[in-house]
Structure 1
Amino acid sequence: MRATVRDIAAETGLSIATVSRVLNGQSNVAPHTRELVLQVVGRLGDQAPRPRAAQETMAGGTVYVRCPYLLTDYFGLIVSSIGETVELHGGQMILSTGESARRPALSGLPGRSDIAGAILILPPEPGEELVRLRDRRFPFVVIDPRTPPPKDIVAVSAAHFAGARKLMAHVVELGHRRVGIIGGPVKWLPSEARLAGYTASLADVGVLPSAELLRNVLEPNAENGYRAACELLDLPERPTALVAFNDKMAVGALWAAAERGLSVPGDLSVAGFDDIDLSRATLPMLTTVRQPLQEMGRMAVTLLMRLLSRHTLEALHVSLGTDVIVRDSTGPAPR
């Protein structure tokens, strides 16, 4: 079997990125480090990994990564995987994040000679601005778009609808029929897709969507999840389960349940979405949907490399699979 870059890294004690730079003939490697890698390659002979073809590397190009949000455990996982993958392919990353990244920046990208392409994470700009950037032949990839991506714009996201549908299917299999839904921002593609998935599984068991049991928030955080859950749990006939847009809002729902003396999952089941570290730090731990956050970052880099190599991309919007992770926060509906 052919050895991998990871195998050589393990044998030499070097990082995968360093081994990759040696194999791709890049100059930013110390001589003794290069010699160490080449000795192992020579010993492996035909089993050694082949250097990537020139069109498969970034050839030292710089990728502009824009994430106009705080690098929490959600966005941080995506950004770190982008950086690792860019370095693995011989490139560099310029990161613009937080409030400073919210200023208009897209129109100036095509004129920057120091940037080969860009990865835009949940860009707040309307689709028209992305179209203008596309029309200027600037290569970029969108991760988790807010709105349906315009034609010929490359995007990667998780399978929001399928994940939400599987999660709600788990909830209704436990006997829940009166389910409160704490949704994300209105007219936001992930929110709409997840809401459609939740309602689809309810419809499968003959439960029609009820406006009384739906709350949408402007910012999907724990505090807003708490407020929405309070409203739902204070209804004359409270729901037996709450399904939130994300794990942070589900944590807010746990606060509201504890405040009312409700046991989870005995009196109330609670579920989230994302499977960030927070979902395993609660008591009980959260049932949730696992998004492939790091794979989204890696896939975005791969797609950008193909754009830089002028490959034709037919699957312009790549949707990565999700998994339902069942933990202790969901249980049979109370009698």
Structure 2
Amino acid sequence: MKQGDVPGQGTARGRGRVTVRAIAAETGLSIATVSRVINAQGQVSEDTRRRVHEAIDGLGGHAPATRPRLPKTGLPVLVRCPYKLSDYFGALVTAVAEALHTAGRQVMLDVGDSRVDVPVLRDLPTARATSGAILILPPEPAEDLRFLQTRRYPLVVVDPRTPVPRGVVSIASAHTAGARAVTGHLLDLGHRRIGFVSGFEDWLSGSDRLAGHLAALSEAGLLSDPRLHHYGEPAIHTGLRAGRDLLDLPDRPTAIACFNDKIAVGVVQAAAERGLHVPTDLSVTGFDDSEISRATTPLLTTVRQPLDEMGRIAVTMLVRLMERQALEALHLELATELIVRGSTGPVPVRS
């Protein structure tokens, strides 16, 4: 029997408890969202709450029993994120830490870009200071992850930087699908010459997003022009540099899709330097739906990643590993959402 399933589900009112899975199927909501409503955890809209309770009534039962809060005992969970905690990373670490607190687990943080070259993983199985680890975009080589796996040390990788070894549990956003959707949006607006500014070439998320971009172009019968692809640190200065290069081409792009919102801001700045207006002269898109995407003029069209849900599910997977429970899947991709705002418009008409 799966967690959250309670015997006695019936079709007549009052015959027993319905299951979380049945409620999710009835409402079209995720199991995680249904669980949040039932356990009164996290923020959910009143409409979502109403749908869940109406589904429980319609299925002829009452809500599943809420899960007891675990006592805060035992060794803490290591949360390693060796990057500056701004925007994307800050939101992920917060989501993971809050989910661990909700699960009754203590947290040991190893964060900040000064920690990127500090070797910690190989000591984890013998240090006996932690019960498991959540590794966010780990910079360590696959051999270190494989070492932890062979020592049966519980770990979950969130947003892998490189492909994880077979059998290592991981969770990420659907990077390819998200990039495909945003490039498809630009194609629907009539754009055919579309630049793409990616992050680091060796990041899995960057290669996946480029793959999604190229797939959308291919579906439209377009060949990729290598001159329209740029790479670099996912920061504003990369967008500024790449934007200048792209917009100085004799046949400049009419739209530029970016690896993240920070790069997109740099591209917008490069356009302004050249007297170009967004989106009248140039459409620009970001990725992440970070706060900066809602602080630009115009607001950025972007792709929203479900960071809160990623954090919660990562914790759920880790707890199951620590309790030696089986997982239904070792690798999960969570759906992204295209958010259309003011930075994209129809392809400009050039005289």
Report the TM-score, using the length of structure 2 for normalisation: 0.80
Q: What do you get for the CA RMSD once the two structures are aligned?
A: 2.1
2:68 paired with 1:52: yes
Candidates 174, 185, 190, aligned match of 1:175: 190
Distance in 1 of aligned mates of 2:67 and 2:255: 53
2:169 paired with 1:135: no
Structure in which a larger fraction of residues adopt helix = 1
Distance in 2 of aligned mates of 1:283 and 1:99: 30
| Aligned 1:1-335 pairs, distance under 5 A | 4-6=38-40, 50-52=66-68, 59-102=73-116, 103-217=118-232, 219-335=233-349
Offset of residue 147 of structure 1: 1.0
Offset of residue 101 of structure 1: 2.3
Contact 2:39–2:67 (CA under 8 A) maintained in structure 1: no
| Distance verdict in 2 for CA 1:52–1:175, change over 3 Å | same
Q: Give unpaired runs (5+ residues) of structure 2.
A: 1-13, 18-36, 42-61
Contact 1:60–1:90 (CA under 8 A) maintained in structure 2: no
Contact 2:234–2:259 (CA under 8 A) maintained in structure 1: yes
Offset of residue 51 of structure 1: 4.5
Offset of residue 49 of structure 1: 5.0
Distance in 2 of aligned mates of 1:289 and 1:222: 17
Alignment-mate amino acid for residue 339 of structure 2 = I
| Distance verdict in 2 for CA 1:267–1:313, change over 3 Å | same
Cα-to-partner distance string for 1:62-121 (whole Å, 9 max, x where unaligned): 100000001102111111111111111111100011134220010111112231100000
| Distance verdict in 2 for CA 1:252–1:260, change over 3 Å | same
**Residue 111 of structure 1: SS of its match in structure 2?**
helix
Contact 2:69–2:104 (CA under 8 A) maintained in structure 1: no
Cα-to-partner distance string for 1:278-335 (whole Å, 9 max, x where unaligned): 0000000000000011211111101101101112224111100000000000000012
Alignment-mate amino acid for residue 110 of structure 2 = S
Q: Give unpaired runs (5+ residues) of structure 1.
A: 8-45
| Distance verdict in 2 for CA 1:134–1:250, change over 3 Å | same
The number of residue pairs the alignment matches comes to: 295
Distance in 2 of aligned mates of 1:150 and 1:313: 17
| Distance verdict in 2 for CA 1:128–1:48, change over 3 Å | closer
Distance in 1 of aligned mates of 2:319 and 2:271: 47
Offset of residue 126 of structure 1: 1.2
Distance in 1 of aligned mates of 2:333 and 2:323: 22
Distance in 1 of aligned mates of 2:139 and 2:179: 23
Alignment-mate amino acid for residue 180 of structure 1 = G
Cα-to-partner distance string for 1:128-178 (whole Å, 9 max, x where unaligned): 111111111100000000111110000000000001101110000000000
Identity of aligned residues (%): 51
Q: Which runs of 4+ in 1 moved over 2 A?
A: 1-7, 46-54, 57-61
Alignment-mate amino acid for residue 324 of structure 1 = L
Cα-to-partner distance string for 1:14-66 (whole Å, 9 max, x where unaligned): xxxxxxxxxxxxxxxxxxxxxxxxxxxxxxxx989544397xx7754410000
Distance in 1 of aligned mates of 2:113 and 2:126: 23
| Distance verdict in 2 for CA 1:49–1:208, change over 3 Å | same
Distance in 1 of aligned mates of 2:72 and 2:184: 43
Distance in 2 of aligned mates of 1:307 and 1:170: 40
**Residue 341 of structure 2: SS of its match in structure 1?**
coil
**Residue 333 of structure 1: SS of its match in structure 2?**
coil
Relative CO higher for 1 or 2, CA cutoff 8 Å, sep ≥ 6?
1
**Residue 180 of structure 2: SS of its match in structure 1?**
helix
| Distance verdict in 2 for CA 1:238–1:84, change over 3 Å | same
Distance in 1 of aligned mates of 2:136 and 2:78: 11
Report the TM-score, using the length of structure 1 for normalisation: 0.84
